[in-house]
């Protein structure tokens, strides 16, 4: 048995997907896993500005278009249904139109068994943003009739063909590349095809990169002619964003900023400016910048509108929005896997009162791999230096947050010490898209204390983060002597 049919869930028409463990053949899965691990080690990211230095004077290289989709292995055996899968997870798909067309192409060539590396992607529609991995995931899990059949399969490499192992293809890739075209053709308007690409001199790589971008592509992948050495080349986005908050921490005996909360502004209205949170940035901060920023930001601290923590549980300190930083990223993700727009928290800054106010949740694309570039002391927020138009061509203010009375209790723990001390931990979920859905509440009551009752509340956007906050609160506040009720 090559696949485990019990793991597959029917979505539409003939199409089914196994989210994990769809591949039952351990040899096939192991072979694919080793290949993927070796491939991953061979890849390097290369900034467009470094292309000429890296490839100038190189006689011949191979380039292929980088598809903004999901890398997959495609397995064909005339005795079983063709499928794609991921390694090592075993996520697998059967019944796609692209798979049937690929199987027919192999059958016509008399090929009985083969394994390929490719990319599942969605074609770009005129006038719309280029669909990415979120679109592929949405199409893969949707039950909408025919949606999954929009997925295309671009073939990039041959692992095995008619019983011959072709994973070690140093010096033979040119023949493999030609074979892919002979079997599947090069027409990217079809559901399955050889990836777009070819051969050029190192001096022409930059030109090929620019051509692919001009035609709406994401970037290119360049490999040496005789080695499995790859460079992934994509444009870097630069965004100017306002610093809304920071997290401090220690490193090498110093104290500095470990990450920044940054946001983009809507036009000012009635003396207030709404900031859409964009990202938390830690990458790119060198030691000196980290220390210098902490000195600046500590004097700008204000009361937080909500209690926020980073992934390590450190508090986010909110500040007056006065500084602008340049942020770099690889790309935008506009949609979630379910097709809905990516959203983030928004906060309103009242200049007169010097305070932040939680303003709800609104659409804002997610920046992929955000990194600090530099302070933009030449720009100001009042002059539109951090405007949201950099991320959204048309942006509307998020709706006013609505507190709903319907609340679901997720978890509750109560501890008592002696007769007069009680500590209660509650994790609850509220309904409504425009609320922070998860609430973690800790109440600490001690009758003999000057201030008998203390209450702290934290919020989270997802259940995983809420659970982490809940566990951290229990661990920090329940020590020896407390008995669970």
If residue 29 lies in a helix (H) or strand (E), which one and from where to where? helix 26-42
Mean pLDDT over all residues of the chain? 89
Between residues 352 and 271, the one the model is more confident about: 352
Tokens 């007169």, residue? 352
pLDDT one-digit tens code per residue, 230-283: 999 988 889 999 999 999 998 888 899 999 999 999 988 777 899 999 999 988
- What Å distances lie between residue 68 and 124, 129, 172, 219, CA to CA? 10, 12, 27, 9
End-to-end CA distance of the chain: 51
Residue 83 to residue 16: CA distance in whole angstroms: 10
* Alpha helix (H) residue ranges in 272-328: 287-298
Using 50, 70 and 90 to split pLDDT, how confident is the model at 362? Answer: confident
* pTM to 2 decimal places: 0.63
pLDDT one-digit tens code per residue, 387-422: 999 988 777 888 776 555 567 888 999 999 888 889
Beta bridge partners, 332, equal 367
Domain covering 237-390, topology: OB fold (Dihydrolipoamide Acetyltransferase, E2P) (2.40.50)
* Alpha helix (H) residue ranges in 385-483: 463-477
Beta bridge partners, 45, equal 232
Residue 194 to residue 197: CA distance in whole angstroms: 9
Question: In this predicted structure, what is the pLDDT of residue 170?
Answer: 63
Beta bridge partners, 121, equal 152
- In the DSSP assignment, the letter for residue 149 is G
Question: In this predicted structure, what is the pLDDT of residue 11?
Answer: 94
Question: In this predicted structure, what is the pLDDT of residue 339?
Answer: 65
Give every CB contact of residue 44 below 8 A, 6+ residues apart in sequence: 230, 231, 232
Average pLDDT value for residue range 156-164: 91
Between residues 135 and 76, the one the model is more confident about: 76
Neighbours of 463 (CB within 10 A): 13
Tokens representing residue 96 in the block: 């796609």
The superfamily in CATH containing domain 5-233 is DNA ligase/mRNA capping enzyme (3.30.470.30)
pLDDT one-digit tens code per residue, 36-76: 988 888 888 888 888 988 999 999 999 999 998 999 999 99
Beta bridge partners, 63, equal 198, 222
Question: In this predicted structure, what is the pLDDT of residue 217?
Answer: 86
128-137, 198-207, 280-289, range with the lowest pLDDT: 128-137
Tokens representing residue 189 in the block: 């308007």
Does residue 126 have a pLDDT over 80?
A: no
Q: Give residue limits of the domains in the chain.
A: 5-233, 237-390, 407-484
Does residue 193 have a pLDDT over 70?
A: yes
Residue 245 to residue 317: CA distance in whole angstroms: 5
- Phi, psi of 361, deg, nearest 5: -125, 130
pLDDT-above-90 percentage for the chain: 53
């Amino acid at each position: 048995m090559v696949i485990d049919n019990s793991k597959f869930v029917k979505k539409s028409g003939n199409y089914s997907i196994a989210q994990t463990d769809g591949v039952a053949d351990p040899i096939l899965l192991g072979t694919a896993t080793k290949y993927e691990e070796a491939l991953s080690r061979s890849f390097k990211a290369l900034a467009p500005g470094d292309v000429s230095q890296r490839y100038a004077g190189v006689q011949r290289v191979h380039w292929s278009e980088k598809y903004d989709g999901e890398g997959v292995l495609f397995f064909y055996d005339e005795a079983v249904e063709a499928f794609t899968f991921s390694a090592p997870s075993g996520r697998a798909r059967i019944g796609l139109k692209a798979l049937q067309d690929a199987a027919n192409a192999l059958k016509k060539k008399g090929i009985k068994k083969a394994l390929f590396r490719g990319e599942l992607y969605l074609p770009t529609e005129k006038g719309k943003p280029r669909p990415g991995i979120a679109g592929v995931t949405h199409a893969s899990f949707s039950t909408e009739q025919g949606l999954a059949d929009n997925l295309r399969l671009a073939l990039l490499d041959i692992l095995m063909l008619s019983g011959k192992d072709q994973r070690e293809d140093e010096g033979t890739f040119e023949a493999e590349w030609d074979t892919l075209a002979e079997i599947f053709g090069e027409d990217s308007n079809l559901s399955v095809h050889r990836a777009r690409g070819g051969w050029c001199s190192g001096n022409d790589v930059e030109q090929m990169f620019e051509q692919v971008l001009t035609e709406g592509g994401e970037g290119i992948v360049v490999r040496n002619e005789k080695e499995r050495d790859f460079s992934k080349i994509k444009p870097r986005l630069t965004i100017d964003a306002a610093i809304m908050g920071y997290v401090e921490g220690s490193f090498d005996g110093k104290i500095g900023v470990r990450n920044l909360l940054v946001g983009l502004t809507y036009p000012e209205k009635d003396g207030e400016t709404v900031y859409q949170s964009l990202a938390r940035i830690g990458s790119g901060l060198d030691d000196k910048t980290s220390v210098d920023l902490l000195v600046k930001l500590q004097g700008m601290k204000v009361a937080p509108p909500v209690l926020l923590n980073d992934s390590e549980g450190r508090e986010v300190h909110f500040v007056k929005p006065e500084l602008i930083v340049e942020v770099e990223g690889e790309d935008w993700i506009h949609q979630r896997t379910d097709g809905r727009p990516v959203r983030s928290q928004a906060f309103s800054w009242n200049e007169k009162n010097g305070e932040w106010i939680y303003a709800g949740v609104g659409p804002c694309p997610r920046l992929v791999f955000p990194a600090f570039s530099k302070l933009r002391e030449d720009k100001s927020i009042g002059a539109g230096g951090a405007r949201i138009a950099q991320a959204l061509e048309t942006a509307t203010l998020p709706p006013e947050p609505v507190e709903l009375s319907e609340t679901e209790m997720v978890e509750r723990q109560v501890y008592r010490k002696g007769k007069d001390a009680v500590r209660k931990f509650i994790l609850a979920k509220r309904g409504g898209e425009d609320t922070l859905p998860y609430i973690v509440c800790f109440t600490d009551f001690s009758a003999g204390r000057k201030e008998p009752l203390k209450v702290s509340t934290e919020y989270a956007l997802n259940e995983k983060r809420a659970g982490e906050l809940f566990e951290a609160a229990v661990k920090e506040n329940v020590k020896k002597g407390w008995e669970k009720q």
